Amino acid sequence: MSRGPASVDTAMPSRQILVGLPAYNEEIALPRLLARVEKLRASLPSLSVVVYNDGSTDSTASVARQWQGRLPLELLDCPQNKGLGAGLGALAAHAAARAAGHDVLVVMDCDDTHDPAQIADMLARLDAGADIVIASRYRAGATSSGVPAFRRLTALGALVLFKAVHPVRGVRDYTCGYRAYRVAALKRAEARFGAQLVAERGFACTVELLLKLHSLGCRFAEIPLRLRYDLKPTASKMGVGSNIARLLSRLVRWRLRGFG
């Protein structure tokens, strides 16, 4: 006897999408980005925002509070500047503690260079079985505007070294901070690494978290990144050359420890 269409499980809880924004002195870029996120809620109504204010000396925190009347937005306000690693760790810990395993944490740069509209593609890859989805500069269809040639060449050279020292299946872009994490994966990682889930203070934290999740058997996927560096309203806060050099030394150390 033939069966009709499968019934929908209405008891399945809706998936919450947390957009995590580590912010340091982004009073100009933050409202631009939040306006784009606000538009996205028309198609993703379960989306909310968590801003981590990393001891900003401008009005970043005030701007975030002003937006709380327009968006479901939570502010994690750190009075001291502790670096990107502290922000990434705080956002991951917040999601692991507050969200359900089937929920998603999307972390993106707060300087308005990442396109929130790409979150939909990330969710599709999570639904296809990935635990972490990276917006990659090295996938077919990726675009970038306004990125200095030196920065592009340095990143490409680093990629070759990263893959040689620490190959991770499904990953080409080790350092892009625009990622979607299945919260269940973050919960597993926090249970394993605790307060040391993100120990690196600076740029290396994105790679550290990637390798720790890889060591737990997490599955990775990538989508092509649409990077608009030309929209960045302030100068970069990261020294590329020095950060890459430090990161490579840490990759060797992590390799010896067995991360990945």
Q: What is the pLDDT of residues 168-196, one digit of tens each?
A: 999 999 989 999 999 999 999 999 999 99
pLDDT in tens, 121-164: 999 999 999 999 999 999 999 998 877 676 677 667 677 777 77
**65: its two tokens:** 């509070």
Spatial separation of the C-alpha atoms in residues 88 and 108, rounded to whole Å: 10
Spatial separation of the C-alpha atoms in residues 99 and 119, rounded to whole Å: 18
Task: Write the CB contacts of 238 (distance below 8 Å, at least 6 apart in sequence).
Answer: 202, 203
Give the pLDDT of residue 259: 62
Is 212 a residue whose pLDDT tops 80?
Answer: yes
Spatial separation of the C-alpha atoms in residues 120 and 159, rounded to whole Å: 26
Pick the more confident residue, 218 or 175.
Answer: 218
Pick the more confident residue, 235 or 51.
Answer: 51
Pick the more confident residue, 148 or 69.
Answer: 69
Give the pLDDT of residue 5: 41
Asked if residue 140 lies in contact with residue 224, where contact means CB atoms within 8 angstroms, the answer is yes
Spatial separation of the C-alpha atoms in residues 225 and 212, rounded to whole Å: 23
What's the pTM value of the predicted model, to 2 decimals?
0.88
What domains lie within the chain, and their CATH numbers?
A: 17-257 (3.90.550.10)
Give the pLDDT of residue 3: 42
Whole-number mean pLDDT of the chain? Answer: 88
Spatial separation of the C-alpha atoms in residues 239 and 237, rounded to whole Å: 7
Pick the more confident residue, 98 or 233.
Answer: 98
255, HSE (Cβ side, Cα atoms, 13 Å): 14
Is 202 a residue whose pLDDT tops 70?
Answer: yes
